[in-house]
Structure 1
Amino acid sequence: MKGLEGIKVIDLTSYVAAPASPRILGEMGATVYKIEPATGDEYRTNAPGFGMKKTDIDDPSFDFASMNKIFVSINLKSEEGHELIEKMLADADILITSFRDKALVKLGLDWESVHERHPHLVWAQMRGYGEYGPDKNTKGFDATAYAARGGWFACLPQAGEHYQPINWPAAMGDWNASLALTAGVLAALARKDRTGEGDKVTVTLHHAALWPMQMMLGGTQFGDKWPKSRYNVTCPTNNTYQTKDGVWFIICYGSYDIFYDHTMRTIGLDDMVGNERYNKNAEINDGSGRNEEVVRIMEKQFLTKTWAEWEPIFKANEIPYEKLYLPEDILADEEVYASDILRKVHYDAFGEKAIPTSPIRLDSMGDPVLHKSRPIGYDTAEVMHEYGYSDEDIQRMDGDSVTCYHGPDLPDSVFEPSYGPRSKRD
């Protein structure tokens, strides 16, 4: 057995944060059934909004959250559609949804109802906001519940007269939240394995946004201010600087007092070594402006050499550093392909496009084998056969309780798996 082979997941989700979690589980070997209405997941229409292109067959943007899935279209409001989903839930291990509470109650798919009928089932929900606050019924998206309410838009730009909110890569918070949901699902799955009983898992975009904001929120309670200028950072040895030839980079020594002398000696500021005006982190942040003085001294020094001159100095002295990468730099980075962080996947319409893989690796699985998404309802008939429906049943229900695919034959490229350098092929 490899990874999660044999585990069945029912995916009642849309957009990114929730469906990305089943994609991760699928890369771990689980069988994932993506349930869509006849009109499909609205996310299927979003490629242009991400600066991408799509066709009816090739859609890299939809693949981001929906690779490694089986595509079934069910009208959950119909009696026979409800009967089909009930059969699938009885046979599944995990249900993941992004539906809001009122819709779940109407469909009989809320936690309490599902747990009563299927006590073995792990039930997981991605929410915009928490279950108990004033916004518990508010629709939440990555840009609203995560980036705006979580402080990212307003707090991370450079402070100053030209302040504007940051540009936010679409769904960035969704991907981060999906990892939290996956962790919760796997914990509940472990409990189910020991007790036979499913558990309820909830993750909110709002909560996931604030989890990585702990240092900012903590510092604010002690007088630190955000947004801020890079000249007013509290730790000058953990800051961005620019070289003589215009390359931006960061050095990352958060333990200022410990590494102050080593940093100053390494970058050629010997007169700063042991300087009691500047070598204590708490003292330079006493409101006197000494933190900014240190930044400007270091900035002036870094402007004396090119990146080609500074990088070997950093390496020789084990200074933690990194150049600030643009998307074009990332896509050309040997590291991302050697470690299967990005995978080049072929699309007939667009050629090779780099797709991020899940950041989780199981040795039993190796690098995940990726399978592209397919059209709405492409697998409906096949799945219904698996659950005992006859051809006559399927024909009768098609167009009402379910939607089956009746489009043109798909090219072989849609079904060709993508392998990483350490994928384990059967």
Structure 2
Amino acid sequence: MTKGLEGIKIVELTSYVAAPACPRILGEMGAEIIRVEPLTGDEQRTQGPGYGMEKTELEDPAYDLSSLNKNWLSVNLKSPEGIAFVYKLIEGADIVITNYRDKALLKLGIDYDTLSKKFPHIIFGHMRGYGERGPEKDSKGYDATAYSSRGGIVMSFPQKGDDPANVPAAFGDYNAAIALTAGVLAALVNRQRTGKGDKVVVNLYHMAVWAMGVAIISRQSGAEYPRSRKEVPCPFNNSYKSKDGIWFLICNGNYNKFFEEMMTAFGLGYLVGDKELDTLEVITANGKAPYVIKLLEDAFLTRTFEEWEVVFRDHEIPYQKCHTIDDILADEECYANDILRPIHYDTYGDRVITTSPIRLKSVGDPVLRKSKPIGYHTREYLLKYGFTEGDVERMDAEGIVKCYKGPALADW
């Protein structure tokens, strides 16, 4: 039985994170990923130290995040023979994923119009910083700039009056990759019905604004961003601190429905029946939300988090401790559900890495294969596509391709 995307081929012409993370997801679903890098390699190979992570020529945990489960080719796209080889790859593929800007795509002859004429079946997935129209259409767009900064994340996440947020690197990239994955799979379904390929476009700025939808809409009614947790509209959807200094968040957005049960559970039963406090409409109108928040703050400071957990569970109140990264790394939930996967590096020892969040029953928990050095599979694919050993040696010597010449590496 065919499992997941077995038999589907993706040619990847990308750099950095957002676009490469999409084929990584498709690879975990069983697709064959043919990653084509320039002879100098993807610039993302240099980024590990900027994340505070070490790397070697053979092992790079930072790069693995968006580049597991791929086959590594290195081709000079400015060479006629190089681009001809890539066309051969695309001819036999189902999907092309890229994030090159329009000018580069046109210059190299791998833009959508060119490829769709040559290969009408091809699905073209394009990750962009900004949209195809408007003043920024030709601008470089990165996660930190197009998503976190322009998308409002940096300024909306801190508490009111605090400095801009320091958003973790590639936060928006990995979210945008999910959207591009959904788009190309939708196009793949449509091609099964029509026989024709399609163009799928996702941009980082749009992804950020989509994620900020509640803020965008509520701001038009006067809601403030950034806001203070002491002034949120719904006191039952807010963060609080326990007696032992642990921050947690409760989330029961239906304040009116659960007012009596929640207040009784929190030791504030005397408020039940108080018509000045028992609905969101009235505490919004009379400005009493901060007062209710202060009552809850004081109540939560009377017990430890462990004690409050019993109360939350007994009353089925949605809650969670506000986790640090260390908490996540130690979280049994992550390992029970293959959210974090142990992975071994000869240089760095045992680490864990995030898996993609989509699961297909036919595939199960996917096999993860670490990234490889530049050109690791170039020779293999040239031979697979009809080139001779002599062709390979000549093309490598002339700088048309780059073939890896180091020791064989374990395929895991």
Structure 1 length as normaliser, TM-score?
0.95
Report the counterpart of residue 324 of structure 1 in structure 2. 322
Q: Distance in 1 between matches of 2:122 and 2:203?
A: 20
State yes or no: 1:47 paired with 2:48. yes
**C-alpha distance after superposition, 1:343-366 (max 9, x if no partner):** 010001111111000100000000
Report the counterpart of residue 78 of structure 2 in structure 1. 77
Q: CA deviation at 1:254?
A: 1.2
Q: Distance in 2 between matches of 1:314 and 1:410?
A: 54
Matches within 5 A, 1:15-414: 15-160=16-161, 163-286=162-285, 288-399=286-397, 400-407=399-406, 409-411=407-409, 414=410
Q: Distance in 1 between matches of 2:111 and 2:274?
A: 63
Q: CA deviation at 1:112?
A: 1.0
Q: Which portions of structure 1, spanning 4 or more consecutive aligned residues, are displaced by more than 3 angstroms? A: none
Report the counterpart of residue 3 of structure 2 in structure 1. 2
Q: CA deviation at 1:140?
A: 0.2
CA contact (8 A) 1:47 1:54 kept: yes
- The gaps in structure 2 that reach 5 residues or longer are none
**Residue identity matched to 1:201:** V
CA contact (8 A) 1:230 1:240 kept: yes
Query: 1:131 is paired with a residue of what secondary structure?
Result: coil
Q: Distance in 2 between matches of 1:128 and 1:282?
A: 40
Q: Distance in 1 between matches of 2:382 and 2:261?
A: 66
**Residue identity matched to 1:109:** I
**C-alpha distance after superposition, 1:228-268 (max 9, x if no partner):** 11001011100000000100000001122222222111111
Report the counterpart of residue 420 of structure 1 in structure 2. none
**C-alpha distance after superposition, 1:293-334 (max 9, x if no partner):** 010000000000011111111001100000010011100011
Structure 2 length as normaliser, TM-score?
0.98
Q: Distance in 1 between matches of 2:281 and 2:35?
A: 53
Q: CA deviation at 1:274?
A: 2.4
CA contact (8 A) 1:57 1:410 kept: no
CA contact (8 A) 1:5 1:29 kept: yes
**Residue identity matched to 1:256:** Y
- The gaps in structure 1 that reach 5 residues or longer are 418-426
Report the counterpart of residue 421 of structure 1 in structure 2. none
Q: CA deviation at 1:280?
A: 1.5
Q: CA deviation at 1:278?
A: 1.1
Report the counterpart of residue 423 of structure 1 in structure 2. none
Query: 2:230 is paired with a residue of what secondary structure?
Result: helix
Q: How many residues align?
A: 410
Q: CA deviation at 1:283?
A: 2.4
Q: Distance in 2 between matches of 1:86 and 1:171?
A: 31
**Residue identity matched to 1:222:** S
